[in-house]
């Protein structure tokens, strides 16, 4: 049995991916009470730690954990935030590295937004990567698109993976997409047969001054941060801020391309509400994040949307964690001193 701890576990997207890949998640840490309630519901055999990570001593876990995994809060590095980096009190990258240092597992896996590898934060990330290498790990990082691994969503995330004794991790190649053996999973395919769920009644209203792009599903033709989804393509990124008019929506009657063509020909922007374009439900959002229908989210609906948007898509996590398990299995028991 290869044992893992999931730090900043949230609802459990990374934990589920680890489980699907063959890891046993023995411990999970999270301070958000709704998220850890969801995790407890879906992982009843895991030991749950619901205190501030800065107050937790990881030394007793040394020798009992093979993998330290987790996605430190992304807000310090997200382009949708203030990008304060290490000046943001939510920056928990140092705590992740401390956990690795105190546990000394066979491997670690850290996930975050693409902003972490942007020029603004590259020196900061390099500093922590060097600290991890100084601990004896071979460290490899790569920016991955979830859609390339069978997730019905375009979602760019960086993975930083380390293996003990300086061994470098080999990332799995894409399984879906134009240059892979299988096509991308589309919104329509992912949502087919989705179980009924409470509706999101936020209306879709026309922009007074629409911003046009080549695609009718790009630009800004409608108010709010929720965007229309093309059912023939993977979804746009599901945000943690979803709920109300920040939730993406569907166009079952194909009205949006018609409106886009009308505007492109010089038509005047319409006023009022676009009817028959439902916002994604919680269950539909979960499907686009690659969660199975039997995964139960707890808390208020707004919290459930947030938990889903914050999660690592399990299918993406499983692809990376599966390759890591294969590379670690042969060295089980050989830990960093």
Find how far residue 194's CA is from the centre of its chain: 21
Task: Tell the residue number behind the tokens 């459990």, with chain if given.
Answer: 12
Question: Which two tokens mark 187?
Answer: 């919104």
With the C-alpha atoms ordered 225, 228, 231, 232, is the resulting torsion angle positive or negative?
Answer: negative
Inter-residue contact 169 to 140 (CB < 8 Å):
yes
How buried is residue 41: exposed, middle or buried, by Cβ count under 10 Å (0-12/13-18/19+)?
A: middle
Q: 276: helix, coil or strand?
A: coil
Question: Which two tokens mark 76?
Answer: 């310090």
| Separation between Cα atoms, residue 6 and residue 29, nearest integer Å | 6
Give alpha helix (H) positions in 265-300: 282-288
How buried is residue 136: exposed, middle or buried, by Cβ count under 10 Å (0-12/13-18/19+)?
A: middle
**Which listed residue (74, 277, 306, 328) is catalytic?**
74
Inter-residue contact 4 to 66 (CB < 8 Å):
yes
Strands (E) in 101-155, as ranges, are 107-113, 138-145
- Residue 74 bears catalytic tag: yes
Catalytic sites, residue numbers: 74
């Amino acid at each position: 049995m290869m044992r893992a701890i999931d730090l900043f576990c949230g609802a459990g997207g990374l934990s589920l991916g680890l489980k699907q890949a063959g890891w046993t998640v023995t411990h999970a840490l999270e301070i958000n009470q709704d998220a850890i309630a969801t995790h407890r519901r879906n992982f009843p055999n895991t030991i749950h730690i619901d205190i501030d990570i800065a107050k937790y001593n990881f030394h007793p876990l040394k020798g009992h954990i093979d993998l330290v995994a987790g996605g430190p809060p992304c807000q310090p590095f997200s382009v949708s935030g203030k990008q304060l980096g290490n000046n943001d009190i939510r920056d928990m990258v140092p705590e992740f590295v401390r956990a690795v240092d105190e546990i000394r597992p066979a491997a670690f896996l850290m996930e975050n937004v693409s902003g972490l590898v942007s020029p603004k934060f590259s020196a900061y990330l390099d500093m922590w990567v060097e600290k991890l290498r100084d601990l004896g790990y071979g460290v490899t990082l790569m920016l991955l698109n979830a859609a390339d691994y069978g997730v019905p969503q375009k979602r760019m995330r960086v993975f930083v993976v380390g293996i003990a004794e300086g061994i470098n991790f080999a990332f799995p190649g894409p399984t879906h997409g134009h240059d892979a053996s299988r096509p991308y999973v589309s919104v329509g395919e992912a949502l087919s047969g989705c179980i009924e769920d409470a509706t999101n009644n936020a209306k879709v209203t026309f922009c007074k001054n629409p911003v046009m792009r080549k695609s009718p599903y790009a630009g800004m033709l409608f108010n709010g941060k929720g965007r229309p989804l093309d059912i023939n393509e993977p979804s746009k990124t599901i945000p943690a801020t979803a709920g109300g008019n920040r939730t993406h929506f569907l166009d079952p009657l194909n009205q949006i391309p018609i409106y886009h063509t009308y505007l492109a020909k010089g038509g005047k922007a319409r006023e009022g509400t676009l009817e028959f374009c439902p916002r994604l439900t919680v269950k539909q959002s979960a499907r686009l994040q690659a969660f199975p229908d039997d995964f139960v989210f707890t808390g208020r609906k707004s919290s459930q949307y947030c938990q889903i948007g914050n999660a690592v898509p399990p299918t993406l996590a499983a692809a990376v964690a599966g390759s890591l398990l294969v590379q670690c299995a042969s060295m089980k028991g050989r830990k960093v001193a």
